[in-house]
Chain A
């Protein structure tokens, strides 16, 4: 079943220099495991293909049912150097939530995941 990350998580993003951070938070505690399994460094790197000059780092916060991603080289130099509208990475959060996940039907049913429209 196709599922939108937007329906499984909320997020906030910010900056440190040329790096954007994206914190992804499960909307329900029981969905955290799925997010931790699916949102790998490889998957997130592929998602942001062409938008980063550096790599992706990933950290788990099971206590908050959250994952933190560092997207290096996301901000055209960042801070005052950047010429981008989103120089401080404020909306990488919702860019992340555009991700579509493929979840096997049984698991999607067991977790009561909302199907993508």
Chain B
């Protein structure tokens, strides 16, 4: 057994720096590269892509990422764990195999493919069996939006990834795994942690939470002393140096920018936190109030003391459904009286929408530069040099949302003066794909693992 296992984060979301995976394998020795591609809405986007083309539905950036680190995988034995499979892990694996063919390394690359999280084909069967899939936030039954559901995926845990690694997989591709399992699974595999060793499971999950958003743990988006964080253009993504006893250190490669200290790691720990006593995952309920941090050298923080408790008998399900249409448009009003002009324009616009008989579920007006994000807390700014009027509408009737988008630019000629910033033209109408969180009994979800060469 290794005494130290290094898991490096190379992608915090789909769209993150393309060169980050390569930098993580070239910057020093690592054992695993962890790539997180899936946000809540990503699954529904991928589902739409798969409907258009059955070979799609996964994070295509991943193939380029593998290409960029292929030598390290084949020559150095670095392993990759990624939830890049989206709603089509098998197609993702095929694309990686085709790449391996093209690069002449087919046969030297074992792929683990984790499936079973996709509940869409079984949705009606599950509902008929009495699984209500009620919305966790509102309590409403799924039947309310059943005919508009685009995707439904259970968040699955570390078990199938561990199994793929045990079968020799060098690249493990999952669908909707939890982000944190991507880091915890290799630790569990390497150290042989028992599935009910709750403190170790929790430690692995918390290590995953710290690095799952990439550089957000190593000085990116860090408020404390942000102006002194060095070489952000060259920011080093975080790495977990884990030990068998469940303690670990967060660090980054030498010669990279950014900062890893107790404050930067703490900011990431509280990111998207709910009840810190019960961070619920399929593997364990982790207790964030047990986490201890201490400095362990330059750009290195030691994490220890973590405890956890038994997992629940439920899995979270991420369901995406069509929820109408929206459009957001902006105009910029300028000094003098920029704010008063923007407010007058909003009043004119709303009167026009009323006159045209347009009705929406919501109309939201914001004044960017004055109060868009901090609302009344921002105070008055009567002499602002410029104010961006930002108006959004949301509704079920696409034609009405479309009509709204034609109302903004005429304001330049027909409304209050000193207005500009309309060069981008009419706002676009977007279909809203909303998120429906639910729970399901663990017993009805069976992840499958396949290792292909």
Contacts and interface: CB of A to CB of B under 8 A. Distances in A.
Interface of A: 10-18, 21, 23, 25, 27, 47-51, 57, 59-64, 66, 68, 70, 76-81, 83-86, 91, 93-95, 98
Given A10-B263, A21-B272, A59-B275, A83 B392 contact: yes
A70 B224 CA distance: 21
Interface string B289-317: 11111000000000001000000000000
Contact of A94 (B224, B270, B372, B374): B374
25 contacts: A10-B223, A11-B223, A11-B267, A14-B272, A14-B273, A16-B272, A23-B266, A25-B267, A48-B377, A50-B375, A59-B276, A59-B277, A61-B288, A61-B289, A63-B289, A63-B290, A66-B270, A78-B435, A80-B41, A80-B432, A80-B435, A83-B362, A84-B364, A84-B366, A94-B223
B252 interface: no
Contact of A12 (B221, B373, B432): B221
B391 to A, nearest CB: 8
Interface residues of B, number: 49
B323 interface: yes
B294 to A, nearest CB: 11
B41 A25 contact: no
A62 B289 contact: yes
Contacts of A66: 266, 269-270
- Interface SS of chain B: mixed
A12 B268 contact: yes
B376 interface: yes
B223 A80 contact: no
A70 B273 CA distance: 8
Nearest to A76: B364
Given A21-B270, A83-B328, A95 B223 contact: no
Contact of A21 (B273, B291, B394): B273
Given A12-B271, A63-B292, 15 more contacts: A17-B435, A21-B273, A23-B269, A23-B271, A61-B276, A63-B289, A63-B305, A64-B269, A66-B270, A68-B276, A79-B40, A79-B434, A85-B373, A85-B390, A98-B374
B263 A25 contact: yes
B137 interface: yes
Contacts of B268: 12
B388 to A, nearest CB: 9
A13 B40 CA distance: 17
Contacts of B373: 85-86, 91, 95
A59 B277 CA distance: 9
B433 A12 contact: no
Contacts of A64: 266, 269-270, 288, 291, 293
A63 B41 CA distance: 33
B338 to A, nearest CB: 17
Contacts of A91: 373-374
A84 B393 CA distance: 10
Nearest to B268: A12
Which 6 pairs of residues, A with B, have the shortest CB-CB distance?
A23-B270, A83-B392, A14-B272, A83-B364, A10-B224, A12-B267
